[in-house]
Amino acid sequence: MNEIVFKNVCKNYGNVEVIKDLNLTIPSGQRLVLLGPSGCGKSTTLRMIAGLESITSGDLFMGGERVNDLEPGDRNVAMVFQNYALYPHMTVGKNICFGMQISKVPKEEREKRLKEALEILGLEPFRDRLPRELSGGQRQRVALARAIVKRSPYFLLDEPLSNLDAQLRTTARAELVKIHEVYQPTFVYVTHDQVEAMTIGHQIALMNENVIQQMDTPDVIYNRPVNTFVGKFIGSPSMNIVTAWLDGGRIYLGETSAPVPEPWLEKLEGRTEVKFGLRPEHVQLSEKEGDFPCQVIYVENHGSRKCISFQVGKESYYMMTEADFETHDQMWLHINWRRAHFFDAQTQRNVGYPQW
Amino acid sequence: MKTKTKSKQWLWHLILLILVLLVAYPLLYMLCSSFKSLKEIYNAGLSLLPREFTTENYDKVFSSLPILRFLANSLIIALIVTVFKMATSLLASYALVFMNFKHRDAMFYFFTMTMYVPFTVLMIPNYLTINKLGLMSTLVGVALPQLADAMGIFRMRQAMRTIPKSLVEAARVDRVGHMTALVRIVIPMLRPAIIAQSMIFFINSWNEYFWPMLILRGDNTSYTLTLALQTFMNSESGSAWGTSMALATITTLVPLVLYLFTQRYIISTFMSSGIKE
């Protein structure tokens, strides 16, 4: 119905390639999060959907119709901008109604939608205020209300929460999901914040260097990253990824080694150098003898959890733990093999996972 | 420390006072002289207040010339020029700031380059064009070559660049056309800058002497106020300083009143660099 499909879409600014051969299908009514570091092309992708950026080559379909040459206004999208883009000389009510007025929505209907949006977002007391008289969180909600009243089948959000403080962000995230659930538009959300991506997206498309690295559900992206970039980008602190060597059924991290269990041996057959990945939250350390001897460097207290920095050989690793952690002179790293990741040393691609 | 800054402040005020006097004295002299008799003007030197207050200069101005007609002519030309210059400046600068097209920046530089072409170079081709169009001795003939202005485009573009692009983009996504976006979003945000620039356009046109003199020849009912000033200045019958001063005072009155009403916008525009959200 309202799916968005990119077919071999490229975008260049002069000689600079911003999007390389993008193929992406966003199913109708889903929440897709475009995630990636700054400059990866995620905002450009969103702006191409809105029609604010032209497409150099390839085709973009929305609801089955090719929209390459359609003006932004004819695509029936609602968009929330990072700086909210509220008209400073219009009151909250006028800001929200302006688009409807232009689209000639009848006055009664306009009033009804305005009332509903103000109510949902708790903005009723601010109807006659100017944007400059509102706090950041209130402005953000006005921008959201302006998008809601359009009743558009496509909802585009360009880092809408990045100007809010941490606490507001948490509530605003929940609000966004709630609103999506009420109106069920196809929802495309751009962010560089992985927590937002994980909490909001049905699916995440993780972009880097103008290419989608992986598109999947948050669970799969977290548990089965396709390459070292995805592994490192998702998770905080990021995944420990180190170079390891395999020899005689053992894995070498620096000078010390440990046996590799059977299922992994099959998967890693024929490889000598690999990238070994282990998430900090899956690391186990104890004074009981285990796979690798290690030395704790320092302990950071995050309140609910502790972040422990330690070394195996010369490489540094992180561990997150909820337990009261006590350091001892000699600690051991226990590898939870079911939580381990291996990547090709050259291509950085995931080698896959064994059947347990 | 405190006395030092205070004496410094006094010094600044003194300098400012001298500057104000330098600017204001000729204006005051003009105003006062317009109420003096010709004899007194010649004898009084630089003293300001008239010893014998007389309105005879004004009587003479109004009886010998169709002053209201000239005032209307000046107003019509200045208004046409101001409105069109502002409209063209706004349209061009909107396109230069908010629309994407090839050679956009080159076009802007081309516009600004025309600022460096002196009036004297354009005078003859413009004169010939107006003549060919049969617009000699008409107000339209005076206004026509002045309907667009590179300086205005430059100033309005600079002002528009302070508006976040996303405002216009948000409007575009909401099906707002470029024209509506300009009128309903951009212009309301630039009101101070537009008023200030319009004042500059108006006063420039109002004060213009040479170009109207070329076009409005012979038929003196189409004269502007500035052209009328010269009728009291001629070598044959001697210069009528009193009447000249009276007419000059009348000529100054309109821009002065306009300025009084718009000064807060003008000052705010020149003090701040624009709107920042």
The answer to whether B45 contacts chain A (CB < 8 Å) is no
Domain for residue A89, yes or no?
yes
Q: Are residues B148 and B114 in the same domain?
A: yes
As for how many domains chain A has, the answer is: 2
Nearest C-alpha of chain A: how many angstroms from B273?
17
* A258: exposed, middle or buried (Cβ count in 10 Å: 0-12, 13-18, 19+): middle
List own/partner pairs for B230-235 with CB under 8 A and 24 or more apart: B231/B65
Q: Are residues A50 and A109 in the same domain?
A: yes
Q: Are residues B90 and B47 in the same domain?
A: no
Domain for residue B5, yes or no?
no
Reported ipTM? 0.86
What secondary structure letter does DSSP report for A250?
E
Among candidate residues A182, A216, A232, the one where a domain is terminated: A232
Query: Where residue A162 sits, what CATH number does that domain have?
Result: 3.40.50.300
Any bridge partners for residue A78, and if so which?
A155
Among the partner-chain residues A71, A79, A89, the one whose CB lies closest to the CB of B189 is A89
Chain segment A175-193, per-residue pLDDT in tens: 899 999 999 999 999 999 9
Q: Is the pLDDT score of A270 beyond 70? A: yes
A213's enclosing H/E stretch is strand A211-216
Q: Determine the Cα–Cα distance for residues B90 and A83; give it in Å rounded to an integer.
A: 25
Q: Are residues B169 and B39 in the same domain?
A: no
Q: Are residues A214 and A302 in the same domain?
A: no
Among candidate residues A212, A232, A252, the one where a domain is terminated: A232
Q: Are residues A217 and A255 in the same domain?
A: no
Domain for residue A350, yes or no?
no
Domain for residue A352, yes or no?
no
Q: Is the pLDDT score of B236 beyond 70? A: no
Domain for residue B120, yes or no?
yes
Chain segment A61-109, per-residue pLDDT in tens: 999 999 999 999 999 999 999 999 999 999 999 999 999 999 999 999 9
Q: Are residues A260 and A180 in the same domain?
A: no
Domain for residue A349, yes or no?
no
Q: Is the pLDDT score of B271 beyond 90? A: no
State pTM to two decimals. Answer: 0.85
Q: Determine the Cα–Cα distance for residues B222 and B140; give it in Å rounded to an integer.
A: 11
Q: Are residues B28 and B156 in the same domain?
A: no
Query: Where residue A321 sits, what CATH number does that domain have?
Result: 2.40.50.140
The answer to whether A130 contacts chain B (CB < 8 Å) is no
As for how many domains chain B has, the answer is: 2
Q: Determine the Cα–Cα distance for residues B208 and B231; give it in Å rounded to an integer.
A: 16
Q: Determine the Cα–Cα distance for residues B165 and A85; give it in Å rounded to an integer.
A: 8
What's residue B219's pLDDT?
Answer: 65
Mode of pairing for the β-strands spanning A77-80 and A154-158: parallel
Q: Are residues A190 and A115 in the same domain?
A: yes
Q: Determine the Cα–Cα distance for residues B81 and B144; give it in Å rounded to an integer.
A: 8
Domain for residue B167, yes or no?
yes
The answer to whether A87 contacts chain B (CB < 8 Å) is yes
- pLDDT top residue among A23 and B51: A23
Nearest C-alpha of chain A: how many angstroms from B83?
23
Q: Determine the Cα–Cα distance for residues A90 and A248; give it in Å rounded to an integer.
A: 73
Q: Are residues B173 and B83 in the same domain?
A: yes
Q: Are residues B37 and B138 in the same domain?
A: no
Q: Are residues A228 and A262 in the same domain?
A: no
Q: Are residues A328 and A244 in the same domain?
A: yes
Contact B164, B277 (CB under 8 A): yes
The answer to whether A83 contacts chain B (CB < 8 Å) is yes
Domain for residue B17, yes or no?
no
Nearest C-alpha of chain A: how many angstroms from B112?
25
Q: Quick one: which of A176, A199, A207, A350 has its CA closest to A275?
A: A350
Q: Is the pLDDT score of B256 beyond 60? A: yes
Q: Is the pLDDT score of B276 beyond 50? A: no
Which range of residues forms the domain containing residue B38? Answer: 22-54
pLDDT-derived band at B217, boundaries 50, 70, 90: confident
Q: Determine the Cα–Cα distance for residues B215 and B198; give it in Å rounded to an integer.
A: 24
Q: Determine the Cα–Cα distance for residues B15 and B20; give it in Å rounded to an integer.
A: 9
Q: Are residues B34 and B107 in the same domain?
A: no
Q: Are residues A166 and A69 in the same domain?
A: yes
- HEC readout, A254-322: CCEEEECCHHHHHHCCCCCEEEEEECHHHCEEECCCCCEEEEEEEEEECCCCEEEEEEECCEEEEEEEC
Which range of residues forms the domain containing residue A295? Answer: 238-344
Q: Determine the Cα–Cα distance for residues B147 and B128; give it in Å rounded to an integer.
A: 17
Residue of chain B with shortest Cα separation from A51: B173
Domain for residue B16, yes or no?
no
Cβ contacts (< 8 Å) between A99 and chain B: which residues? Answer: 171, 174-176
Tokens describing residue B85: 């210059």
Q: Are residues A71 and A32 in the same domain?
A: yes
Question: Residue B182 carries which side chain, given as an amino acid letter?
Answer: L
Among candidate residues A211, A232, A253, the one where a domain is terminated: A232
> Is the CB of A88 less than 8 angstroms away from the CB of B180?
no
Q: Are residues A151 and A220 in the same domain?
A: yes
Greatest pairwise CA separation for chain B in angstroms: 72
Q: From residue B80, how far is each of A99, B120, B138, B143, B202 by CA, in Å?
A: 34, 22, 13, 7, 9
Domain for residue B8, yes or no?
no
Q: Are residues B101 and B36 in the same domain?
A: no
Q: Determine the Cα–Cα distance for residues B126 and B137; give it in Å rounded to an integer.
A: 14
Mean pLDDT, to the nearest integer, of B79-92?
A: 97
pLDDT-derived band at B273, boundaries 50, 70, 90: very low
What's residue A123's pLDDT?
Answer: 94
Domain for residue B12, yes or no?
no
